[in-house]
């Protein structure tokens, strides 16, 4: 887990994209398993390069959330994907609601 912590710290510090190998180290999984997650659409690369797909820090957070759902609650991969998608929608809606409330309370801004 020390490697995982270092990968996350490096990501947050540099805001640089992560390779499949970086993701695998961060969550203590094999890169082939991460590639399978990508293949079924559980996580999506932010960009693709000749050397392979690159992922944002949000992909790492999503991957960790999926793994926690599986480990702690026994949710299958399809269920974990649905839960993660719904959570992301809720977070987005909450941010939009906050933005609208601020706009309403300060109509000139």
Q: What is the pLDDT of residue 40?
A: 87
- Name which of 67, 59, 51, 53 is nearest 8 in CA terms: 59
Q: What is the pLDDT of residue 87?
A: 95
% residues pLDDT > 70 (the chain)? 86
Rounded to an integer, the average pLDDT of 86-91 is 96
CATH of domain 2-105: 1.10.1660.10
For residue 11, pLDDT beyond 50: no
Q: What is the pLDDT of residue 30?
A: 96
- Name which of 94, 90, 88 is nearest 66 in CA terms: 88
For residue 13, pLDDT beyond 70: no
Neighbours of 101 (CB within 10 A): 10
The mean of the pLDDT values for the chain is: 87
Q: What is the pLDDT of residue 3?
A: 58
Neighbours of 34 (CB within 10 A): 26
In angstroms, rounded to a whole number, what is the distance separating the alpha carbons of residues 70 and 68?
5
Name 75's Cβ contacts closer than 8 Å, sequence gap at least 6: 69, 83
Burial status of residue 37 (CB atoms within 10 A of its CB: 0-12, 13-18, 19 or more) = buried
Name 39's Cβ contacts closer than 8 Å, sequence gap at least 6: none
């Amino acid at each position: 887990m020390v490697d995982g912590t270092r990968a996350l710290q490096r990501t947050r510090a540099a805001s640089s994209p992560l390779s499949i190998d970086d993701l695998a180290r961060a969550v203590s999984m094999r890169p082939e398993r991460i590639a399978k997650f990508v293949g079924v659409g559980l996580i999506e690369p932010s960009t693709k390069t000749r050397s392979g797909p690159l992922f944002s820090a949000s992909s790492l957070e999503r991957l960790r959330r999926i793994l926690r759902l599986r480990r702690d609650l026994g949710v299958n991969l399809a269920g974990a994907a649905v839960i993660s998608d719904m959570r992301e929608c809720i977070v987005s809606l909450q941010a939009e609601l906050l933005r609208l409330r601020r706009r309403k309370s300060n109509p000139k801004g």
